[in-house]
Amino acid sequence: MTPESAPAVPRPPARPSATPEMSGAEAVVRSLEKLGVTDVFGIPGGAIMPVYDPLMDASGLRHVLVRHEQGAGHAAEGYAAATGKVGVCIATSGPGATNLVTAIADAYMDSVPMVAITGQVFSTLMGTDAFQEADIVGITMPVTKHSFLVKRAEDIPGAIAAAFEVASTGRPGPVLVDITKDAQQQTAPFVWPPRIDLPGYRPVTKAHGKQIQAAATLLAESKKPVLYVGGGVIRAHASAELLTLAESTGAPVVTTLMARGAFPDSHPQHLGMPGMHGTVPAVLALQESDLIVSLGARFDDRVTGKAALFAPNAKVVHVDIDPAEISKIRTADVPIVGDVRDVLVDLDTAFRGAIGTGTPDTEEWWSYLDGLKSEFPLGYAQPEDGLMSPQYVIQRIGELTGPEAIYASGVGQHQMWAAQFIKYERPNSWLNSGGAGTMGYSVPAAMGAKVAEPDRVVWAIDGDGCFQMTNQELATCVINNIPIKVAIINNSSLGMVRQWQTLFYEGRHSNTDLNTGHGTVRVPDFVKLAEAYGCLALRVEKEEDVDAAIRTALETDDRPVVIDFVVSADAMVWPMVPQGVSNSYIQYAREHAPAFDEEI
């Protein structure tokens, strides 16, 4: 009998393995599913291609194919900022990974929870200048909470789980997971939940009781207190607790650029946004206070002006989950490290105990602040060139759309006007690039927010300069049925740079004219560009047409809408405290510059 004709020997059925074997690429997808991820943004390429094969079969995981990796990063940021969930983006090695760096740095500055997954060349080729090799772990180390390099398939679930843990706990931020191609192709048992090994990573969330009591005592004794609210309150989902403390203390509240919406604009205790382009009451309240209670804020230069001259008579209670921020710029009299949400609850209880049956003596303080609010409301002058006022356009977008929408801004003048003239009543309704100031943030961030919150209206309020950096994501929106609204505040220039050139460079407008909106030649014509992408496109050049265009956008849900609002290039953002001077400049300007009152 030949071997070929011998009867087959029956084999016992294989026993099911307790830990299924799968490729590293499959482990990436399975790990994301186990972590509850439903949406990711990315572009495939050679070094990440193994992951894209099982991703195609993942029924519960939607992949949005963007047109540029920076768009993937900002979309993940917008997704995270609108929901508080971890945003996820994916890119290949080399230029794919480096194109994510701007968005990663942006997320780092603004404490956005994000995980970036990148492919890397074969581990045997690392260090040889292989095709599309880049040391993305080294490149991103200064702008991530942590960066993982994974060279073995069995390490993938643990690395991804650890990345989500780091990104979403403590002070939120971006984490990079770089996975070699051979690790993606190898097979290994898939163990879930994996053991997460993060030696030394122990975020402090519970504040020390004595520090809470000390802060409550200062708050009870203060005659001129201010609650200085930063973006940490939004990241901690602590808006309700903030409202309780504010109403218990009766203290005025200021919300930074990153904290707009953390406290309702309509609340009588809200003074507006502080800082370089803040309201006069907010700026002077901080400057002239005797106690600043800083809540998830970091005393950045745009708020303090010249730090050595900031709030000279104020004691400082500084609450932050990141101990590195405490006393970094302004020495704290009472440092409190902890989760601001828990701290607000404990501080409210301690304050009520400290004040007893009495009430804080802030009547004179409020009399002064109410006078500032009456004397210096936010306003703007009509342009003299006959073109539309950008402030009016943005104000009408907010008024007609309402507080339940999400507004994602680019960077520059339109960003400041959107922060000033739209009324924010709830957290997570205002998305912008605060710390990094990244032009190009708006459109992809709005796209990510719309994916996360499909039932909300999402506006991208952009400038003509910012829009030209990432407008290719309109194609992503059209193809994937992501109907965002885009308002281009088109002053045909790099507006904020032009404003500084006007004020500080004798009006020498060097290389700030973009030729996008004024005159007969428009390069590009934004209406034609948007139509080429498949969007509904409108142009508005007269104020009487503004409302109709906005209403058309609000009524259109089957595709993105782009409105080219042609506005004056001479409009400026006021108030303004010049860089490097004391915030008392506003007080000085009030007393010595008659035109100042008209400008603000």
Q: Is 165 part of the annotated catalytic residue set?
A: no
Is residue 69 part of the annotated active site? The answer reads: yes
pLDDT value, residue 587: 57
- The DSSP secondary-structure symbol of 259 reads G
> What pLDDT, on the 0 to 100 scale, is given for residue 156?
98
Residues 415, 260 contacting (CB under 8 angstroms): no
Query: Looking at 120, 133, 148, 181, which residue is catalytic?
Result: 181
In whole angstroms, give the CA distance from residue 245 to residue 347: 8
**How many Cα atoms sit within 13 Å of 207 on the Cβ side?**
29
Q: Which CATH number fits domain 390-566: 1.25.40.10, 3.40.50.970, 3.40.50.12370, 3.30.2290.10?
A: 3.40.50.970
Residue bearing tokens 């804020």: 297
Query: Does 132 qualify as catalytic in the annotation?
Result: yes
- For residue 364, what pLDDT is reported? 97
Report how far residue 247's alpha carbon sits from residue 259's, in angstroms, rounded to the nearest whole number.
18
Per-residue confidence (pLDDT) for residue 1, from 0 to 100: 41
Residue 318's SS3 state is: strand
Instruction: Sketch the domain layout of the chain as residue ranges.
Output: 21-189, 209-375, 390-566
What's the per-residue H, E or C state across 267-305? CCCEEECCCCCCCHHHHHHHHHCCEEEEECCCCCHHHHC
Task: Tell me how far apart the alpha carbons of residues 293 and 351 are, in angstroms, rounded to a whole number.
Answer: 13
Quick check: is 413 catalytic? no
To the query of whether residue 421 is one of the catalytic residues in this protein, the response is no
Across the chain, which has 600 residues, the per-10-residue mean pLDDT values are 42 55 98 98 98 95 98 98 98 98 98 98 97 98 98 98 98 98 98 92 93 97 98 98 98 98 98 94 97 97 93 97 97 98 98 88 96 93 92 98 98 96 98 97 98 98 97 98 98 90 92 82 94 98 98 98 96 84 63 41
Q: Which of 496, 501, 526, 576 is catalytic?
A: 496
**Structure token digits, residue 550:** 């906005």
Residue 70, both tokens = 């920076």
pLDDT at 585: 66
Which sign does the torsion angle of CA 262, 264, 269, 271 carry?
Answer: positive
Q: Determine which one of 21, 131, 141, 579 is catalytic.
A: 131
pLDDT the model gives residue 144: 98
Pick the CATH number of 209-375 from 3.40.50.10420, 1.10.10.60, 1.10.1380.10, 3.40.50.1220: 3.40.50.1220
Q: 33, 126, 132, 185: which one is catalytic? A: 132
Q: In this predicted structure, what is the pLDDT of residue 357?
A: 76
Catalogue the E-assigned strands of 330-450: 334-337, 406-409, 430-431
Task: Please tell me which residue in 69, 165, 241, 473 is annotated as part of the active site.
Answer: 69
DSSP letters of 478-545? HHTT---EEEEEE-SB-HHHHHHHHHHSTT--TT-B--SSSSS--SS-HHHHHHHHT-EEEEE-SGGG
Q: Please answer whether residues 106 and 438 qualify as being in contact, where contact means their C-beta atoms are separated by less than 8 angstroms.
A: yes
DSSP assignment of 108-163 equals HHTT--EEEEEEE--GGGTTTT-TT---HHHHHGGGSSEEEEE-SGGGHHHHHHHH
Instruction: Please state, in angstroms and rounded to a whole number, the distance separating the CA atoms of residues 56 and 276.
Output: 48
Residue that the structure tokens 């506006």 belong to = 459
Domains 21-189 and 390-566 belong to one CATH topology: yes
What is the predicted pLDDT for the residue at 137?
Answer: 98
Is the CATH number 3.40.50.970 carried by domain 21-189? yes
